Structures are given as structure tokens and as C-alpha cells.
Structure 1
């Protein structure tokens, strides 16, 4: 089985654009990223299925001529999952728009508190390291 270079590039572009959009702060861009990733996944699964063949029924074709039904089932599952995430994110975006007037994802207050705590601990460690370097000559002189 050979994969066309154009299809491989299209799949790579779809995944790249989808992941880029997922990293944005707007819920609508995140929604578009999920949809683009879903399309990329469906295309990848259809390419993984190989060339078209006969239906997978023993009385109609020999096993060598049959198409593998698993990638098609996986593509249907990916479509359902993409649809479910799309409806969920649309509901989140709508609720955010009606309550806040925008669909931007805010920073979590707890995350900011943890970042400040980490910075404070790093500053304390740096101060302790500086104090220990300054005290070493005094300790040596006392001995």
C-alpha cells in the first residue's frame, strides 16, 4: 500500500492547524481546532484502510479481495466523538458568551497562586544559596 504524498501533507497540515487552534484562548477557536482535528483523523483512518475492495462477506469475495472494516468503524467512532465535543464546546461558548459577554478562557486563580508560591520558593532558595556562599570564608577563618 502506498500513500500519496499530497494526502500525507494534507493530513499533516490538518493536524498542525488543529493543534494550533486548540492552544488558543477563545472557545470558538478551540471548537474549530477540534473540528479540524476530527477531519484529519477521519482522513488518516480512511487512508489507513487501504484501497477500496469488495465487501467483507465470505460468500461474495475471497479474503484477499475484502476491505478491512476496522478503519471504517474507527472513522465512524471518530465522527461521533467529534460531534459530541463540538456540541459540548458550543454549549460552553454560548454559556460563556451569555454570562460574561466573551468566550475567552480565563486563567485559573489556583494556578496563579501556585506560580507565585513557586517563584517565592525559588527566590528563598537563591537567597539561602547566596548567604551560604558569603558565610564560608567566615567559617574557614573561625577554624
Structure 2
């Protein structure tokens, strides 16, 4: 049981780190023709990054930014709640609060990455392909769901 909890804790920390990288890095879309990438915050070329995104004023991008930031916040809160519950909760109880907070994180990732997918991922035909930040977002989606369900199922022994 201790090994399982330690494994979940390590995966949770990895998910937090990947969420930070996914949200901060500007590699959500990568150009096939030139050495350039587009992120949530900046438009980058091989020389420099500029703050001018062609769609920066769109509400969809602001929504994606907000939900990705919320997912980081909820993931960190869930990790802190898990550590708190680990040391204060009585034996035999379940990690309901940690699981619920992680599933809220999962929902925020789902909304953010899905909106990005529907609005921006397939723009300009085949000129762009998905970057590692976009893929990390979907990986974090899977990890946070698995962690959330495991928190809800596990009991402290």
C-alpha cells in the first residue's frame, strides 16, 4: 500500500510539472514550413519570440489560458491536500477531498485543451502540427483522471 501511495505521489508531482511546462512553453503548434511555433502566450521563430499572437484577442484563447492556469492551481491544491490527508486522516478513510480536487483539475484540463483543439489545432490546413506542449496537455489529462480515480478508491491503511 505504501508503494502504491508513493507511486501515485510521484505521478502527481510529474503531472504538476508537465502542466507547468505545457502551459508556459510556447510550442502548442509547430509550423511545417518554417522554424516557428505558436503557444498560448507568444508566437516564436528560431530567432525570437513576440507577444503578438494573431488571435490574442479571441475569447477562446483567453478561456484556454484561464482553464490551464486553473488546472495547475487545482493540481497543486490536490497534491497539498493529499499530503495533509496522509498525515492527519484516520486509518480506513478514503482520500475523497484529494480525489475530488484532482478531478476538478482533470475537468479544467479537458475544457482548456478541448477548446484549443476545436479552435486552433487544425487551423491553416496542414501547415502546422501539434507541439509537445499540446501533447503534454493531453497526457496530463489522462494522468489527472487516473490519479483522481485512484484517490477516490484508495483507503488509508
Q: Same fold (TM over 0.5)?
A: no
Higher strand share: 2
Higher helix share: 1
TM-score normalised by the chain length of structure 2: 0.34
Q: Considering only CA atoms, is the larger Rg found in Structure 1 or Structure 2?
A: 1
Structure with the greater relative contact order (CA < 8 A, sep ≥ 6): 1 or 2?
2
